[in-house]
Amino acid sequence: MGLNVNLCGIELENPVIPASGTFGYGYEFADLYDINVLGTFSFKGTTKDPRFGNPTPRIAECPGGMINAVGLQNPGVEAVIARELPKLKEVFHKPVMANVSGFSVADYAYTCQRLDKEEQVGWLEVNVSCPNVHGGGMSFGTCPEAAAEVTRAVKAVTTKPVIIKLSPNVTDIVSIAKACEDAGADGISLINTMLGMRIDLRRRKPVIANTMGGYSGPGIFPVAVRMVYQVARAVKIPVIGMGGVGSAEDVVEMMLAGATAVEVGAANLVDPWACKTIIEDLPRVMKEYKIENLSDIIGGVQ
C-alpha cells in the first residue's frame, strides 16, 4: 500500500502537511510526537522584518471553525535562519516547506532568496493570500497580474520549487492560478482562509480587534474542494489542497479533486495530534475504498 507522493520533484512518504501558522516551526509539536511521520510541514509565515502581529483579541470561535487575525506575527527572516531552523533541524530530518509573506515584490524576493539558500528548505510556499494584514499579502493574490509579478520575482532569485498560495476571496481562482503557472510557478497551494467576521451582541462591536479575519475549519471544506478541482483541471503543475481538512477521508477527497498533497490547518489547533492520527488512519481508508497507491487517485474524480 503506497502512501508516498512526489511534490515538485521531492518524494514525500505521505501527502499530509501541517499548514503554515498552525504548526509553528515544528519543534513545539516534536515534544508531543515524532514529527518525522509527516510528509513535511509548512512553517510559520515569515516576512523580511519582524512583526508583532495584530492587536488582541485576534481569534474567535464560530460554527464550523474559527476566525483568526494574527497578522503574520514572526521574528523576521534573519532570526528564523539564525534561531528557528537550527532548532528545527534537531527534531525534523526531512526537507521543510518555507512559507513566505511580503508587503512588496522586493520583500518577497528578498525573503525567498535568503531562505532558498538554507539546506533544510525543500520548497518555498509564497503566500499572496493573507486576509489579515492591511496593505499586503492578499492584494497580490486577488489580481492575476500582481500574483504573476510576485511569482516571476521570486523565481528569478531562487533555485528550489516555488509554490504560490492563493486566496479564495476572489471571483475567478483559475485565472490567477494560470497566471502564476505562466510566470514560472512550480506548484499552487489553495485555499487560504476566507474573509469572515463575528459581532459581540453585548458590546455591539466586532469580536476581532481587526474587525475581520480569516475563517478556517470544516465549514470551508466544500469551497476548498471545489477550488482545488477547478485549478487542478486548469494547470499542469502540482496542486496542494487545504481548507477544513480534518480526517483521512478528507485527504482522499482532496486528492480525488486533484491535490497531489494536502495541508491540515485549523485541525491542529483543536487536536495537536491531528496530522499523526490522519496519517495512521490513511491505510484503513485506502483499504475501504480499494486504493492501492495514493498517487494513482490524484485528480481521479469521475
3-state helix, strand, coil in the chain (%, to 5): 35, 20, 45
Q: Which of 130, 143, 180, 275 is catalytic?
A: 130
What percent of the chain is predicted at pLDDT more than 70? 97
pLDDT of residue 132: 46
- Res 137 pLDDT > 60: no
Q: Is 62 a catalytic residue?
A: no
Which residue bears the cell 476581532?
208
The architecture (CATH level 2) of 5-297 comes to Alpha-Beta Barrel (3.20)
Q: Which helix (H) or strand (E) holds 144?
A: helix 144-156
Give tens-digit pLDDT for 51-109. 988 889 999 988 899 999 988 899 999 999 999 999 999 999 999 999 999 988 999 99
Least Cα distance to 122 among 183, 150, 163, 165 occurs for 163
- Res 185 pLDDT > 70: yes
CA distance 259 to 249: 13
Give tens-digit pLDDT for 212-265. 999 999 999 999 999 999 999 999 999 999 999 999 999 999 999 999 999 999
Mean pLDDT of 119-139: 74
Sorting pLDDT into bands at 50, 70 and 90, what band is 121? very high
CA distance 54 to 60: 14
CA distance 167 to 130: 7
- Res 129 pLDDT > 80: no
Kindly write down the DSSP assignment for every residue of 239-255, as one continuous string: EEE-SS--SHHHHHHHH
pLDDT of residue 71: 85
Side chain identity at 127, as an amino acid letter?
Answer: N
